[in-house]
Amino acid sequence: MMTYNERYSELNSLFRQGVDSHLEESGVDIRFFRFNSLSINERGGTTPQTDNTIVENFSFEYPIFTLSGMAKQEEVILLLHGLNERNWSKYLTWAEFLCLHTGKPILLFPIAFHINRAPVTWSNPRSLIQQLNFRKEKYTNDRSISYANVALSDRISQSPERFYLSGRQTWADLTMLFEEIKTGRHPLFKEDSKIDIFAYSIGAFLSQVALMANEKDLFSDSRLFMFCGGSIFRSMFGISRSILDKPAFEKLQYYYINKFGNEEVPVWKRDNAFNAFLRMITPEKFRPERENFFTRFKEKIKGIALSNDIVIPYHGVLEALGKKNGESSIQLLDFPFHYTHENPFPLTTKETTSLNHAFTSVFSRAAEFLA
The string of pLDDT tens digits covering residues 120-156 is: 999 999 999 999 999 999 999 999 999 999 999 999 9
Note the pLDDT tens digit of each residue in 157-215: 999 999 999 999 999 999 999 999 999 999 999 999 999 999 999 999 999 999 999 99
114 Cβ partners below 8 Å, 6+ apart? 81, 83, 84, 85, 86, 166
Q: Which helix (H) or strand (E) holds 332?
A: strand 330-333
pLDDT on residue 308: 98
CA angle 322, 222, 329 (to 5 degrees): 30
Task: Answer for the pair 165, 46: CB distance below 8 angstroms, yes or no.
Answer: no
Cβ neighbour number for residue 148 with a 10 Å cutoff: 19
pLDDT on residue 47: 56
C-alpha distance across the termini of the chain, in Å: 23
Mean pLDDT for the chain overall: 95
Partners of 226 in beta bridges: 199, 303
| Whole-number Å distance between alpha carbons of 274 and 209 | 9
Backbone φ/ψ region at 39: left (φ over 0), alpha (ψ -120 to 50), beta: beta
Q: Is the pLDDT of residue 46 over 50?
A: no
pLDDT on residue 41: 58
> Could you tell me the maximum CA-CA distance found in the chain, to the nearest angstrom?
61
Q: What percent of the chain has pLDDT over 70?
A: 97
DSSP 239: B
Task: Answer for the pair 215, 221: CB distance below 8 angstroms, yes or no.
Answer: no
More confident residue, 1 or 274: 274
Q: Which pTM does this prediction carry?
A: 0.97
Radius of gyration of the chain from its Cα atoms, rounded to whole angstroms = 20
| Whole-number Å distance between alpha carbons of 126 and 137 | 18
For range 15-25, the mean pLDDT: 97
Comparing CA positions, the residue from 311, 334, 117, 97 lying closest to residue 204 is 311
For range 274-294, the mean pLDDT: 97
Note the pLDDT tens digit of each residue in 76-124: 999 999 999 999 999 999 999 999 999 999 999 999 999 999 999 999 9
265 Cβ partners below 8 Å, 6+ apart? none
Q: Is the pLDDT of residue 45 over 80?
A: no
pLDDT on residue 43: 41
pLDDT on residue 165: 93
Level-2 CATH architecture, domain 4-35+54-117+161-237+270-370: 3-Layer(aba) Sandwich (3.40)
136 Cβ partners below 8 Å, 6+ apart? 142, 145
**Domain positions in the chain:** 4-35+54-117+161-237+270-370
pLDDT on residue 130: 95
Q: Is the pLDDT of residue 51 over 60?
A: yes
For range 285-294, the mean pLDDT: 97
pLDDT on residue 50: 80
Comparing CA positions, the residue from 240, 231, 237, 243 lying closest to residue 332 is 231
For range 324-350, the mean pLDDT: 97
Cβ neighbour number for residue 150 with a 10 Å cutoff: 25
Q: Which helix (H) or strand (E) holds 64?
A: strand 59-67
